[in-house]
Structure 1
């Protein structure tokens, strides 16, 4: 059984696609230069996993494969959305802290293993981190909206 094609224009798929776009932007920003600091790799891998989760939940809901024997699918989705929201906001805060340190100069970023790649440069890398932090912040807000909407749907 599947949902009608118009279902793709409802709130849940649109929010999930927006979350996927936010994580895709983070992936693009961290394709180069993520070897500077191990946290950039962690954010990069997290974005891949969150991107997969966003598309996977859209497919599960579209094909109505939401029968879990342990708990309701909405409850599991709420837990995962809350977890992804927390991680997205934490990584965004970490990037904001890192951006502030990078603006202070190289003496403040001794925790980085390497300098930004020469083809990117320090200022361009800071701008990339700003874009990634903003995307993660927006993704966290979208996960919060999804969590709250699922909570109100499951309570009815």
Structure 2
């Protein structure tokens, strides 16, 4: 049986962390949307972020409805989200290290001309903490 909570519930600790996780994933989606064709891994990170946005919003709805025995679903979601964020952060860190060293050979194409190499490296540098912040919120939500 589900019980609907008052709207003030949206600013509780766990829901705020979930909102922040969705915002961080949205930042990654926005910043990587222009360069997905450069490297296949950008597309992987892009879709990981979209999946995290959808699944996080689903867990927010489930928690808002107050469905009982949600603990197992929440633990499984946090484990999957933790793994995906770790993968995304690792891929982007590898990419940034290669780009700072001047090697763009692992990319299929160069960054878009209207963005430029330095600006693209800055975008990837912003996406790394955003994906890692989502990773940290999964650790905190698990406790």
State TM-score, norm by structure 1.
Answer: 0.86
What is the CA distance between 1:109 and its match in structure 2? 3.0
Distance in structure 1 (CA, Å) of the matches to 2:83 and 2:104: 25
Q: Which residue in 1 is equivalent to 2:136?
A: 141
Deviation track 1:7-54 (CA, whole Å, cap 9, x = no partner) reads: 112111111000000000001101101110000001001101100111
For 2:132 and 2:49, how far apart are their aligned partners in 1?
12
Max radius of gyration: which structure? 1
Q: After TM superposition, where is structure 1 displaced by more than 4 Å over at least 4 residues in a row? A: none
Contact (CA 8 Å) 2:104, 2:110: kept in 1 or not?
no
Question: What is the Cα deviation at residue 73 of structure 1?
Answer: 1.9
Partner of 2:101: 104
Please list the CA deviations of residues 59-91 of structure 1 after superposition, one character each: whole Å capped at 9, or x if unmatched. Answer: 111122x35xxxx42112111111211220221
Alignment partners' CA distance in 2, 1:25 and 1:59: 22
Q: Do structure 1's residue 128 and structure 2's residue 117 form an aligned pair?
A: no
1:4 equivalent in alignment to 2:6: yes
TM normalised by structure 2 equals 0.93
How many residue pairs were aligned?
141
Where structure 2 has 5 or more consecutive residues not aligned to the other structure, the ranges are none
Of 34-43 and 54-63, deviating more is: 54-63
Check conservation: 2:89, 2:132, Cα contact below 8 A: yes
In 2, distance between residues paired with 1:2 and 1:80? 22
Q: Which runs of 5+ in 1 are unaligned?
A: 150-156
Partner of 1:82, secondary structure, is helix
**Between 13-22 and 55-64, the greater mean CA deviation after superposition:** 55-64
